[in-house]
Structure 1
Amino acid sequence: MTPSKKSQLQMMESTVIMFVFFVFLAFGFIFFTQSFFEGVKEAQREGSQLDHIQVAQRVLTLPEIQCTKNGEAIANCFDVQKLGAAYTEDASSSGVMEENIGDYFPLFYYSTIKIEEIFPDDPPDSWMIYDNQPNEYQRSSTIGLPAIVYNATDEDSFCEGSLGRGSCAFGWLTVTVYS
């Protein structure tokens, strides 16, 4: 083989090796960017789930609707009279939370919060505590939590041991957060 043909062959080999190297480099870059963006999306999903849980925790500890006994808050318990004052569905009047929806926005963002009395009432009562849906949203996420619904004015002594005179019912807190 002549020296010029030998050098041409070596240059061709070098070119092919560089081409293969750059193809592998391109595939590696594409794989890296795809996995990076998937990680970012997963972090956003986890962040929105954490926000969702924080909103639910804020509702459970909201003094405006929480049950109290001797000035002490009862965990996961909502007072019927406070619920009625917080938000009304009557068009002629509005509840405290409904009138001050802007003050509650930093706590609940764009969300819908509803408490339903499931058992033993038939038909069940429900209270829309906070309803602030955006005009447009990409996704919504809903979480449901059990709670006690306490009615101090009811003569039934279903939960006499824990809260005193009144009735307790099984309730369900539904929190829908929009993003």
Structure 2
Amino acid sequence: MRTNKKAQIRLAENIMVIIIFVFILVFGIAFFTVYQKQTSGTKHKEREEKAASSVLAKIMALPELKCLSSTGQEEVNCFDLYKVKVLNAENHTQPEFIDHFYDIMLESKVSLETLKSEIDEIFTIYENEPVVKHDTLTKKMPVFLYDPINEQKYYAILKLDYYYVR
């Protein structure tokens, strides 16, 4: 009878150890899953931030927008007002226009808003919204808008709305 009780106690101990082990295992898997989901979300967000920054840098270097000083030198962070007006007047739904700039600007909207000046306008340089709405990442960059006829500079904000899939 005594060996029977010892066996029952050992069996109960083994069952308790197995239950505790399974509980720790389930808790560990749940914790690891939540951690992985957060980490992958953060990495995805960082990747999209880099992609949007890359698109913004490419836009800043576009010769179609760059302004030249009176000496013929390219100015940093400066767009030519009349070049911007021409791109603003283009029909952004034309496939040729979108195809020409797609490799640079991808699926995004690029606009230029003047600040506290006589112009006071918002120019849409490029607009290619995806068919299926994605998440949007907005980046802004201060730039100059140069009027070569009047030789005046205006402050403006270059705004990039970058569309991406989560």
Q: Which residue matches 2:81?
A: 80
Superposed CA RMSD in Å reads 1.9
For normalisation by structure 2, the TM-score amounts to 0.89
The DSSP-based 3-state class of the residue aligned with 2:74 is: strand
1:124 lines up with 2:125 in the alignment = no
Alpha-carbon shift at residue 98 of structure 1 (Å): 7.5
Q: Which residue matches 1:63?
A: 63
Q: Which residue matches 1:143?
A: 139
The amino acid across from 1:74 in the alignment is E
Distance, in Å, in 1 between the alignment partners of 2:89 and 2:27 is 59
Q: Which residue matches 1:177?
A: 162
Alpha-carbon shift at residue 84 of structure 1 (Å): 2.0
Q: Which residue matches 1:152?
A: 148
The size of the alignment, in residue pairs, is 162
The amino acid across from 2:79 in the alignment is F
1:102 lines up with 2:99 in the alignment = yes
Alpha-carbon shift at residue 79 of structure 1 (Å): 0.2
Alpha-carbon shift at residue 100 of structure 1 (Å): 2.4
Question: Alignment identity in percent?
Answer: 23
Structure 2 residue runs of 5 or longer lacking an equivalent are none
Q: Which residue matches 1:134?
A: 130
Alpha-carbon shift at residue 39 of structure 1 (Å): 0.3
Q: Which residue matches 2:41?
A: 41
The amino acid across from 2:102 in the alignment is F
Q: Which residue matches 2:26?
A: 26
The CA deviation string for residues 10-41 of structure 1, in whole angstroms up to 9 with x for no partner, is 01111111111111111001101110111001
Alpha-carbon shift at residue 86 of structure 1 (Å): 2.2
Deviates more, 1:61-70 or 1:19-28: 61-70
Distance, in Å, in 1 between the alignment partners of 2:28 and 2:20 is 12
Distance, in Å, in 2 between the alignment partners of 1:9 and 1:126 is 80
